[in-house]
């Protein structure tokens, strides 16, 4: 479970007391020079506000501005403060936001995809942005494993490490005494420490739930499986009613003190009233009454981690909401992922550690996971489109409350605020086409695409308010990390490699199970990555280093020449990473970055190494839009309340621009440039 | 303690490698190698768990 730290300190041990579980308008004056280290200066810093709308697309924005539907954005555009913003290569959010954070490309931060692999274990995959490292040392005692952090034991607990390398731009602000606050910042979990105490951050994308996943909903229904069944993003269980009462079990985090770790379970009761279409749920000290279609508020649930005597049990708090979908004829109850409790966080989700408590003291409990809109529930048929839209609206409402908090607590310096709605709702509802949508009828597809346009209008009204309040005193930016496109056709790279003799044997179905590495020169893993099976790098590598150049150029040419059945080019660019990236952290980069044409993407199965029967197939998922194409196909947006001089700004230009606004020189670690 | 028989040529090779690698005895070296191998074999659950976690990302099914 995340970056918890399980240890017993010496005094507690000797006193037989608790185990310490340490867990997680528009003219501006010239900006004065704050280029000196130390605590913040007495004079106020300038104001810079950045609002990030993940995935906000320039083509849709321009259409809507032209139609008079985004007046605030259009106003900025007419003042010269609009550009399409160059995205990362590949245009995946963890890569893109890391480019923004470092002011430099993937060679500076070492993130090339959502998924990396460990070549010393051939192709063992792992999440690129954070790594949980196992602890060392423990004592076995009565079925538990106990760690003591004092001599002579000196055990080290497991911990989660941020894998993003390089120096984030806020470090330079921190050092100069300039305050900065980041809300829901992607690619920063666990949140990096503030060396000088002038930086605050609530981490966003990449933050796990209490189970250590990216969000696992729990679903209980009368027609559920008799034994709990896991599926990507969730788990399903059956409810069996006797006299209109059913017992159920909520799954919590693993009890990491046990030698054989099992999830902590919390029992609860469900009493249904079919006539009233309502239910009463009793869980720990909560009794909640829900009518069909109602959501509960956030509930704090206590998960008890048993410890052997004489040590008292430890407790971990998580929060969740219940949603009563149906009472009869088939009772269905959805529970959100168990989020880290911001009032009592088991893992660090903010810097400083108490920042989440301060926010919660004003706003109450709130989503702390990185992916809050439950798109998996829609993809897996737990939610209807309308239910997903409603849950996503709840997320947006919470985020707008958080924005109020952020602005109320903003004095000067840098404020960064992030919205996920434009991305996670677009993945499910974007459909900019007259062709059939993968998962819904045409008229529904158009109805829900309209919903995306409503979100863009909402973004416009949010910015209108911010500009009205701060436009004369702050430099304001609106940005996105990439754009969007329909995801209509999927391309299975591993199948293509197999059919073209680069991967064997002919009957192989997965690089994780039945591939023969002696017959495999290249494999695909992640969403945009192709790796050579390189001798001396991969555990079972066969491609000699002297063959690498010729093979890469051959693969790149062949892949760019691939055509779909209708003659359309599928891979716009296959870039060699040794030419595309520079920097100290290119070690884990794929050898080729595949940049798909709009409407194409890596097949679902190929991302974790599985093959399909055919190279091409239609996308059949409710996740009907994506952005993991070639970077030229899906730029982002950049608006500013000052005319932008640079014709082709990119994500890496934002950090040096921001530092310049505070009178700081561009550090050598950055490769971007000032956009003004 | 259980005993295992191995070919004498293999044992000679083990002795040489033990000295080069700095182990105090062939027994120590062999025990360490076997433990490492067993860890790998017993670890697939962790890999499966990581894979299952990655499937929870919306970009993967």
pLDDT tens readout for residues A127-163: 998 887 776 766 776 777 776 666 666 666 677 889 9
Continuous H helices in A135-216: 170-175
Q: Do A604 and B51 touch (CB under 8 A)?
A: no
Sort strands A263-273 and A278-283 into parallel, antiparallel or unpaired: antiparallel
Do residues A258 and A215 touch, judged by C-beta distance below 8 A? no
Tens digit of each residue's pLDDT (9 = 90 or more) over A134-143? 767 667 767 7
Q: Which residues in chain A (122-181) have CB-CB distances under 8 A to chain B?
A: 124-127
Three-state secondary structure of A336-405 = CCCEECCCCCCCCCEECCCHHHHHHHHHCCCCCCCCCCCHHHHHCCCCCHHHHHHHHHHHHHHHHHHHHH
Q: Which region holds residue A416: left if phi is over 0, alpha if psi is between -120 and 50, else beta?
A: beta
Complete DSSP assignment for A27-94: --PPPPP----SSPPSSPPPEEEEEEETT--HHHHHHHHHTTS-HHHHHHHHTT-EEEEB--SS--HH
B52 touches chain A (CB under 8 A): yes
A214 touches chain B (CB under 8 A): yes
What is the rounded distance in angstroms from the CA atom of residue A602 to the CA atom of residue A312? 50
Strand partners, A289: A280
What is the rounded distance in angstroms from the CA atom of residue A476 to the CA atom of residue A399? 19
Chain-centre distance of CA A548, in angstroms? Answer: 33
pLDDT score for B43: 53
Do residues A110 and A222 touch, judged by C-beta distance below 8 A? no
- Say yes or no to pLDDT of A242 above 60: yes
Nearest to A331 by CA among A223, A234, A235: A223
pLDDT score for A25: 26
Angstrom distances, CA of residue A27 to CA of A43, A77, A558: 20, 17, 53
B7 touches chain A (CB under 8 A): no
Q: Do B61 and A621 touch (CB under 8 A)?
A: yes
Q: What is the mean pLDDT of residues A256-272?
A: 88
Residues of A in contact with B52 (CB under 8 A): 230, 232
Do residues A554 and A541 touch, judged by C-beta distance below 8 A? no
pLDDT score for A27: 30
A607 touches chain B (CB under 8 A): yes
Q: Which residue of B has its CA nearest to A116?
A: B54
Do residues A283 and A250 touch, judged by C-beta distance below 8 A? yes
Do residues A627 and A484 touch, judged by C-beta distance below 8 A? yes
Residues of A in contact with B53 (CB under 8 A): 127, 212-214
Query: Which value does ipTM take for this structure?
Result: 0.74
- Say yes or no to pLDDT of A322 above 60: yes
Q: What is the mean pLDDT of residues A264-288?
A: 97
Q: How far is A223 from chain B (nearest CA, A)?
A: 23
- Say yes or no to pLDDT of A24 above 50: no
Strand partners, A116: A126
Q: How far is A589 from chain B (nearest CA, A)?
A: 18
B42 touches chain A (CB under 8 A): no
Nearest to A425 by CA among A468, A456, A471, A382: A456
Q: Do B53 and A375 touch (CB under 8 A)?
A: no
Tens digit of each residue's pLDDT (9 = 90 or more) over A327-356? 999 999 999 999 999 999 999 999 999 999
Of chain A, the percentage scoring pLDDT greater than 70 comes to: 91
Residues of A in contact with B58 (CB under 8 A): 233, 371, 375-376, 379, 424, 427, 623
Q: Which region holds residue B4: left if phi is over 0, alpha if psi is between -120 and 50, else beta?
A: beta
Q: Which residue of B has its CA nearest to A118?
A: B47
Q: How far is A374 from chain B (nearest CA, A)?
A: 9
A461's CB contacts (< 8 A; 6+ apart) are A72
Domain spans in chain B, listed from the N-terminal domain onward: 8-55
pTM for this prediction: 0.87
Q: To the nearest whole number, what is the mean pLDDT of chain A?
A: 91
Continuous H helices in A103-242: 106-109, 170-175
Residues of B in contact with A125 (CB under 8 A): 50-51, 54
pLDDT score for A476: 97
Tens digit of each residue's pLDDT (9 = 90 or more) over A26-59? 332 233 333 333 444 445 779 999 999 999 999 9
Torsion of CA A195, A197, A198, A204, to 10 degrees: 70
Pick from A130, A136, A210, A233 the residue to mutate for testing the B interface (most B CBs within 10 Å): A233
Tens digit of each residue's pLDDT (9 = 90 or more) over A436-489? 888 889 999 999 999 999 999 999 999 999 999 999 999 999 999 999 999 999
What φ, ψ does residue A550 adopt, rounded to 5°? -65, -40
- Say yes or no to pLDDT of A552 above 50: yes
Q: Which residue of A has its CA nearest to B61?
A: A604
Q: Do A213 and B56 touch (CB under 8 A)?
A: yes
Pick from A113, A116, A158, A213 the residue to mutate for testing the B interface (most B CBs within 10 Å): A213
- List of E strands, A510-549: 522-525, 529-532
Residue A359 pLDDT level (bands cut at 50, 70, 90):
very high
A429 touches chain B (CB under 8 A): no
Tens digit of each residue's pLDDT (9 = 90 or more) over B2-59? 888 888 888 888 888 787 667 788 888 888 788 766 765 555 556 677 777 787 788 8
Nearest to A4 by CA among A338, A369, A476, A340: A340
Q: Do B54 and A125 touch (CB under 8 A)?
A: yes
Continuous H helices in A583-662: 654-661
Tens digit of each residue's pLDDT (9 = 90 or more) over A168-218? 999 999 999 999 999 999 999 999 999 999 999 999 999 999 999 999 999
């Amino acid at each position: 479970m995340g970056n918890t730290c399980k240890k017993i300190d010496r005094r507690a041990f000797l006193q037989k007391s608790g185990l310490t579980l340490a867990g997680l308008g528009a003219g501006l004056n010239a900006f004065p020079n704050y280029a000196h280290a130390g605590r913040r200066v007495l004079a106020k810093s300038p104001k810079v506000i950045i609002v990030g709308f993940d995935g906000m697309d320039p083509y849709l924005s321009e259409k809507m501005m032209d139609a008079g539907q985004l007046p605030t954005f259009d106003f900025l555009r007419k003042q010269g403060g609009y550009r399409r913003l160059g995205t990362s290569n590949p245009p995946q959010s963890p890569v893109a936001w890391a480019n923004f954070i470092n002011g430099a490309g993937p060679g500076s931060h070492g993130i090339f995809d959502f998924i990396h692999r460990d070549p010393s274990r051939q192709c063992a995959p792992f999440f690129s942005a954070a790594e949980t490292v196992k602890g060392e040392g423990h004592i076995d005692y009565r079925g538990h494993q106990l760690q003591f952090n004092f001599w002579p034991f000196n055990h080290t607990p497991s911990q989660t490490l941020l894998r993003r390398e390089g120096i984030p731009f806020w470090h330079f602000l921190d050092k100069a005494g300039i305050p900065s606050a980041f809300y829901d910042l992607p690619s920063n979990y666990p949140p990096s420490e503030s060396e000088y105490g002038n930086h605050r951050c609530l981490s966003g994308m990449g933050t796990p739930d209490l189970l250590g996943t990216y969000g696992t909903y729990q679903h209980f229904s009368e027609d559920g499986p008799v034994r709990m069944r896991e599926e990507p993003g969730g788990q399903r269980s059956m409810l069996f009613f006797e006299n209109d009462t059913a017992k159920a079990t909520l799954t919590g985090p693993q009890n990491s003190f046990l030698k054989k770790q099992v999830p902590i379970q919390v029992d609860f009761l469900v009493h249904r009233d079919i006539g009233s279409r309502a239910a009463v749920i009793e869980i720990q000290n909560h009794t909640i009454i829900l009518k069909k279609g109602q959501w509960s508020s956030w509930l704090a649930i206590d998960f008890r981690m048993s410890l052997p005597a004489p040590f008292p049990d430890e407790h971990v708090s998580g929060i969740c909401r219940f949603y009563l979908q149906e009472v009869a004829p088939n009772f269905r109850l959805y529970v959100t992922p168990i989020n880290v409790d911001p009032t009592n966080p088991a893992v660090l989700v903010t810097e400083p550690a108490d920042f989440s408590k301060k926010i919660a003291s004003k706003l109450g409990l709130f989503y702390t996971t990185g992916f809050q809109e439950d798109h998996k529930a829609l993809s897996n048929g737990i939610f209807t489109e309308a239910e997903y839209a409603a849950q996503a609206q709840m997320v947006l409402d919470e985020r707008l409350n958080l924005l109020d908090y952020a602005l109320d607590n903003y004095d000067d310096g840098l404020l960064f605020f992030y919205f996920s709605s434009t991305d996670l709702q677009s993945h499910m509802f974007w459909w900019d086409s007259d062709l059939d949508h993968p998962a819904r009828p045409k008229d529904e597809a158009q109805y829900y695409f309209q919903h995306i346009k409503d979100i863009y209008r909402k973004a416009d009204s949010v910015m209108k308010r911010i500009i009205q309040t701060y436009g004369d005193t702050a430099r304001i930016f609106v940005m996105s990390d990439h754009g969007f496109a329909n995801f209509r056709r999927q391309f299975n790279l591993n199948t293509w490699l197999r059919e073209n003799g680069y991967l064997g044997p002919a009957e192989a179905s997965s690089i994780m199970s039945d591939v023969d590495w002696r017959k495999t020169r290249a494999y695909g893993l992640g969403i945009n990555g192709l790796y050579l099976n390189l001798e001396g790098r991969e555990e079972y590598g066969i491609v000699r280093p002297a063959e690498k150049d010729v093979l890469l150029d051959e693969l790149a040419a062949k892949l760019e020449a691939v055509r779909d059945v209708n003659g359309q080019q599928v891979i716009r660019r296959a870039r060699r990473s040794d030419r595309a990236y520079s920097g100290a952290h290119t070690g884990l980069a794929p050898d080729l970055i595949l940049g798909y044409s709009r409407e194409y993407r890596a097949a679902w199965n190929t991302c974790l190494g599985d093959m399909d029967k055919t190279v091409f197939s239609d996308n059949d998922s409710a996740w009907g839009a994506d952005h993991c194409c070639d970077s030229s196909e899906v730029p982002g947006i950049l608006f500013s309340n000052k005319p932008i001089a640079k014709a082709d700004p990119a994500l890496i230009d934002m950090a040096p621009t921001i530092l310049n606004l505070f009178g700081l020189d561009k550090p050598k670690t950055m490769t971007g440039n000032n956009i003004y | 303690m259980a005993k295992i028989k191995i070919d004498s040529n293999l044992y000679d090779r083990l002795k040489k490698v033990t000295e080069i690698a700095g182990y105090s005895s062939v027994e120590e070296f062999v025990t360490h190698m076997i433990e490492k191998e067993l860890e790998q074999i017993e670890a697939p659950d962790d890999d499966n768990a990581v894979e299952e976690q990655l499937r929870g990302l919306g970009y993967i099914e």
